[in-house]
């Protein structure tokens, strides 16, 4: 480190740190020096006290991020004569044993590895955390509102119960939409006691461009679509020979576009400097890409959200995005990956494919992906970002933690488990009644059983669950087929029906011929080939859109302003969408009657559309189709739709009554073991929104063209 002066976020954090014992949230732009801002005062303090055990616990969401931060902190800690140790699955057992024998200094770890300590090394916990003064949570926004975040909070509360002192928690983030919500997440009992240290960086320059493409989906072979070929050529023109990241929302599309670019480069006789990075590739494949990005050779990389977080990938000159992101939060994270050097702008080029198949329907003609892309950017410029989701019950994670406490202790009474997880723990909102019913429910499923004198121990099914490696993660992990070339694992794909008959594959941006599929071992052997087919990858699919984004999309249709960051095609598509919106009544009216049904545009977000769909199909017996920004009621008149929703929203069923009609409430890993009412409560809190206004007006009837 060759610093001549501290940055403003570091100066402000040191001042806040020294002014009082409050927990801190440090919010600043990417590469602003947040890690040093937290650790400079921490190390200055611990170096004077030199207590036994770990002095500072750093928690990161990714092993790769921990490796990066270890390299940074190693230099800083060496200067202060403080040991630093990283703990994750790639660190050898001999090194871990040496650390456990004399724990001290800074420990870098993931939530899953903390869980592993509780399960496998519980006898070492008192010496590790006997007097832990500081906890640093990096990329805190990645944890808030998720099972993994609740898991981390519970683990940290259990560590605090071991420690002789209450650890001071410091959260780091470049992207926070609502500080008060983050304060409530970090300290539900005393949110006002969490201090914010913020530095937005003084308005970094942004270079932003949206390029539009109109795909013809009426044909059979989309690979030959001129728009796809043009998009691939534009990617090459803008990113070839540049250290850059190109984000794509789905892994299947990521492989599709990578393959198309590779084919275009091969046809032009050019070398291919493009690489691929996503969660279904092997660790070796991902690390090779990360090293290539940090090398002196410019590398363009197609990637998923795996490279949204702060992994060091060198000096990224520009960022691409194919398809609109789901949120302002994601857009800010991705845009912030470029322009990290002082004086350089953040550069993003967004490629938005829209489709028309034959005449297309009303939603298609509004070009919703382009609308969402422009709306997200406008909201970002206005300084808005989605607030973190707090207040979810996370009963699934509570089930996992019950099993964890029992395993840690070899058995525990219900009152002890309640005190550890609820009374003194992170699940403070769980009532004694709900806790008791969860225990009875998981006992019925043989996860736990009661021994003599009320001692709770693992049941046979509970033992099987805890013994599995994926127990350390509280989020669901999908079954996968490992794809291997010779002895090297390339990645993994979903075990879809008929996979044993698959002949060709596209994975890691390369084409493969399938030689053998072993379903028992869950392995597939491949070799390089000219044939290829994009596989299916496991995952939850689309993310819910916030109501504010839908409202901004409506505002973009109402406006006459044509953003200068749109290219010629993008401007043409936006102009066309506005024309359609005016001529059909979408701008003025809630309900749009057609000859075969009725559209309703509530502009209220994904959760509201889901709620209205359930109400309409289950209480109104409508054939309702969710079109992402609108609902289509097939075969229903506008009057029928208006009358029904005016009545049902006036006397709306409860959220839990609504979700009882949803086909699959199981979303989190241990949901299937919960009592039905608590399962419904959890789903309702996360996925249902009844704050909806009934339709008020109807556009003049226009038959379909």
User: Are 468 and 488 contained in the same domain?
Assistant: no
Grouping H, G, I as helix, E, B as strand and the rest as coil, residue 317 is: coil
Residue at 608 is within a domain:
no
- Residue where one domain finishes, among candidates 407, 438, 472: 472
Residues 331 and 347 in one domain: yes
CA 307: distance to chain centroid?
Answer: 11
Are 210 and 195 found together in one domain? no
Q: Given a cut of 90, is residue 541 above it in pLDDT? A: no
Structure tokens given for 330 = 């994601």
Distance CA 418, CA 432 (A): 8
Does pLDDT of 359 surpass 70?
no
Confidence at 223, pLDDT banded by 50, 70, 90: low
- The region of weakest confidence among 222-236, 411-425, 470-484, 509-523 is 222-236
Whether residue 594 has pLDDT greater than 90:
yes
Nearest CA-CA partner of 605 in 629, 625, 623, 622:
629
The reply to whether 16 falls in a domain is yes
Residues 275 and 374 placed together within one structural domain of the fold = yes
Can you tell me whether residue 580 is helix, strand or coil?
helix
Secondary structure (DSSP) of 247-288? EESSHHHHHHHHHHHHHHHHHTT----EEEE-TTB-HHHHHH
Asked whether residue 50 carries a pLDDT value surpassing 60, the answer given is yes
pLDDT in tens, 152-168: 999 999 999 999 889 99
CATH number of domain containing 276:
3.40.50.300
293 and 362 belong to one structural domain:
yes
For residue 194, the model assigns a pLDDT of 94
Domain of residue 108, residue span: 8-199
- Reported pTM: 0.92
Cα–Cα distance measured from residue 350 to residue 348, given in angstroms and rounded to the nearest whole number: 6
Do 53 and 72 fall into the same domain? yes
Burial degree of 312 (CB within 10 A; 0-12, 13-18, 19+): middle
Give the number of domains in the chain.
4
Tell me if 365 is assigned to some domain.
Answer: yes
Question: In Å, how far are 76, 369, 584 from 588, measured between CA atoms?
Answer: 60, 21, 9
Alpha-carbon dihedral 144, 147, 149, 151, rounded to 10 degrees: 160
Q: Considering the domain boundaries, does residue 173 fall inside one?
A: yes
- Determine the average pLDDT of the residues in 489-506: 88
Q: For residue 321, is pLDDT > 90? A: yes
End-of-domain residue from the set 178, 199, 220: 199
217 and 117 co-located in one domain: no
Q: Which two tokens stand for residue 302?
A: 């197609």
Asked if residue 45 and residue 171 are part of one domain, the reply reads: yes
Closest Cα partner for 599 from 626, 574, 573, 620?
A: 626
Residue 270, pLDDT score: 85
Cα atoms found within 13 Å of the Cα of residue 111, Cβ hemisphere only? 27
Q: Is the pLDDT of residue 29 over 80?
A: no
Mean pLDDT of the chain: 91
- Out of 50-59, 185-194, 496-505, 590-599, give the one with best mean pLDDT: 590-599
* Domain end marker among 164, 182, 199: 199
Q: Are 85 and 193 in a shared domain? A: yes
pLDDT band for position 550 (50/70/90)? Answer: very high
Residues 29, 93 share a domain: yes
**Is the residue at 3 inside a domain?**
no
Residue 218 — pLDDT band, cuts 50, 70, 90? low
Q: Decide if 595 is inside a domain.
A: no
Contact 178, 25 (CB under 8 A): no
Residue 215 included in any domain:
yes
Q: Which of 469, 468, 457, 467 is nearest to 417 (CA)?
A: 457
Query: Could you count the other beta carbons within 10 Å of the beta carbon of residue 516?
Result: 10
1 — pLDDT class (breaks 50, 70, 90)? low
Provide mean pLDDT across the span 35-46. 93
Max CA pair span of the chain: 79
Between the alpha carbon of residue 509 and those of residues 94, 299, 529, 532, 537, the distances in Å are 37, 14, 12, 10, 14
If residue 441 lies in a helix (H) or strand (E), which one and from where to where?
helix 432-444
What tokens were used for 148?
A: 């993994």
Minimum mean pLDDT among 296-305, 361-370, 492-501, 660-669: which range? 492-501
Domain shared by 303 and 345, yes or no: yes
Both 91 and 124 in one domain: the answer is yes
Residue 537, in any domain of the structure: no
Strand 591-594 to strand 597-600: parallel, antiparallel, or no bridges (unpaired)?
antiparallel
Amino acid 312: pLDDT: 78
């Amino acid at each position: 480190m060759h610093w001549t002066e501290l940055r403003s976020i570091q100066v402000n954090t040191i001042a806040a740190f020294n002014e009082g014992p409050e927990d801190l949230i440090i919010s600043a732009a990417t590469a602003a020096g947040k890690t040093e801002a937290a650790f400079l005062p921490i190390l200055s303090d611990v170096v004077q006290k030199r207590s036994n055990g770990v002095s500072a616990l750093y928690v990161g969401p990714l092993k790769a991020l921990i490796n990066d931060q270890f390299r940074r902190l190693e230099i800083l800690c060496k200067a202060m004569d403080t040991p630093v140790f990283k703990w994750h699955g790639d660190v050898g057992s001999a090194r871990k044993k040496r650390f456990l024998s004399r724990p001290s200094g800074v420990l870098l770890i993931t939530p899953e590895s903390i869980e592993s300590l509780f399960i496998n090394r519980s006898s070492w916990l008192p010496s590790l955390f006997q007097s832990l003064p500081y906890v640093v949570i990096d990329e805190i926004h990645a944890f808030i509102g998720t099972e993994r975040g609740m898991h981390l909070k519970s683990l940290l509360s259990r560590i605090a119960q071991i420690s002789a002192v209450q650890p001071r928690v410091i959260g780091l983030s470049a992207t926070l939409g609502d500080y008060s919500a983050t304060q409530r997440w970090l300290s539900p009992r005393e949110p006002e006691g969490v201090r914010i240290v913020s530095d937005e960086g003084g308005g970094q320059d942004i270079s932003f461009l949206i390029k539009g493409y109109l795909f013809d989906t009426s044909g059979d072979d989309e690979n030959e679509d001129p728009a796809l070929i043009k998009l691939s050529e534009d990617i090459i023109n803008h990113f070839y020979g540049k250290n850059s990241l190109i984000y794509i929302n789905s892994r299947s599309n990521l492989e599709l576009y990578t393959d198309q670019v590779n084919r275009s480069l091969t046809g032009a006789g050019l070398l291919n400097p493009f690489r691929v990075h996503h969660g279904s590739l092997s660790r070796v494949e991902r690390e090779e890409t990360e090293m290539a990005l940090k090398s002196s050779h410019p590398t363009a990389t197609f990637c998923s959200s795996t490279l949204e977080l702060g992994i060091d990938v060198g000096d990224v000159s520009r960022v691409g995005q194919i398809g609109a992101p789901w949120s302002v939060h994601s857009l800010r994270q991705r845009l912030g990956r470029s322009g990290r050097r002082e004086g350089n702008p953040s550069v993003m080029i967004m490629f938005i494919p829209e489709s028309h198949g034959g005449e297309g329907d009303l939603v298609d003609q509004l070009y919703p992906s382009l609308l969402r892309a422009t709306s997200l950017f406008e909201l970002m410029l206005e300084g808005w970002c989605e607030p973190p989701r707090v207040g979810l019950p996370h009963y699934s994670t509570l089930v996992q933690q019950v099993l964890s406490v029992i395993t840690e202790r070899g058995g525990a009474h219900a009152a002890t488990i309640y005190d550890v997880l609820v009374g003194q723990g992170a699940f403070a909102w769980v009532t004694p009644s709900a806790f008791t019913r969860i225990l009875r429910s998981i006992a019925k499923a043989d996860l736990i059983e009661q021994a003599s004198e009320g001692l709770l121990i693992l049941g046979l099914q509970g033992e099987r669950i805890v013994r599995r490696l994926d127990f350390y993660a509280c989020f669901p992990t999908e079954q996968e087929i490992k794809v291997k070339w010779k002895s090297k694992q390339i990645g993994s794909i979903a075990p879809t029906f008929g996979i044993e008959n698959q002949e060709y594959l596209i994975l890691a941006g390369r084409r493969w011929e399938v030689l053998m599929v072993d379903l028992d071992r869950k392995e597939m052997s491949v070799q390089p080939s000219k044939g290829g087919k994009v596989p299916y990858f496991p995952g939850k699919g689309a993310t819910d859109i916030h109501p504010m984004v839908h409202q901004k999309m409506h505002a973009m249709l109402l406006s006459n302003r044509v953003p200068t960051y749109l290219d010629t095609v993008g401007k043409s598509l936006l102009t066309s969408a506005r024309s359609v919106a005016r001529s059909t009544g979408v701008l003025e009216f809630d309900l749009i009657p057609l000859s075969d049904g009725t559209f309703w545009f509530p502009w209220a977000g994904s959760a509201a559309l889901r709620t209205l769909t359930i109400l309409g199909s289950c209480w109104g017996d409508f054939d309702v189709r969710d079109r992402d920004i609108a609902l289509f009621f097939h075969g229903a008149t506008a009057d029928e739709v208006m009358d029904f929703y005016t009545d049902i929203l006036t006397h709306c069923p409860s959220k839990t009554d609504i979700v009882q009609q949803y086909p699959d409430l199981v979303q989190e890993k241990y949901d299937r073991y919960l009592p039905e009412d608590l399962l419904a409560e959890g789903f309702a809190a996360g996925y249902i929104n009844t704050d909806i206004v009934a339709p008020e007006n109807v556009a003049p009837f226009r038959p379909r063209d």
